[in-house]
Amino acid sequence: MRFVPSTYQILAWKFFDRSVDQRWADWAVEMMLAGFETESLPMLALLEKPYNQFELKELTDRILDELGLSNQDKGLVMCNYASYLINLGIKEERDISSVLNSLKDMYLALDGDATFLNFYLLAYAKEDLNFSEVQYYWDGADRTNIDKIISEEFQKWIRTYPIS
């Protein structure tokens, strides 16, 4: 049985120690609907405010352990999360600029991990081209071809880093 795609997002959020909120509960529901059963998953699915982050961090640790999921391999977690985001952009389930901004933020959060440098540069190139005819981040990119360049970089990424 394959994990639901948003699992890659959850693992990244866990790695970045993001607060547990309703989106985590939505993931738990998706997992249960996909046929995953653990002792702790229903407790997360029934999450109610107010959120006690200390208890929820312990609960999510337990759930990941019960599912045999690990976020210890930073490179794998981040590449899978990037592939998840890029697939959302390719399928037009998420705005391209939003995907680029998330990837740019990932680059910054990982202290400039060169793996994500192209997305950082493209995010700023696209942003500049929204307001100006000129950008200095991506050689040869202009308003007429920036979306094609982004699409090509997304496709290159997916070929290089298919979700594992």
Cα distance between residue 60 and residue 155, in whole Å: 33
pTM: 0.86
90 and 156 Cβ atoms separated by less than 8 Å = no
**Residue written as token pair 């653990």:** 38
pLDDT of residue 20: 93
What residue segments make up the domains of the chain, in order of their start? 7-67, 74-160
Which helix (H) or strand (E) is 41 found in, with range?
helix 41-45
Low-confidence ranges of the chain (pLDDT < 50): none
From residue 3, alpha-carbon distances to 124, 125, 136 in Å are 33, 34, 40
pLDDT of residue 47: 87
139 and 118 Cβ atoms separated by less than 8 Å = no
Displacement of CA 60 from its chain's centroid (Å): 18
Q: How many CB atoms lie within 10 A of CB 39?
A: 9
How is 97-125 classified by DSSP, letter by letter?
Answer: HHHHHHHHHHHHHTTS-GGGHHHHHHHHH
pLDDT of residue 1: 59
**Closest residue by Cα to residue 78 from 11, 28, 29, 128:** 11
- Give me the sign of the Cα torsion angle 30, 97, 121, 143: positive
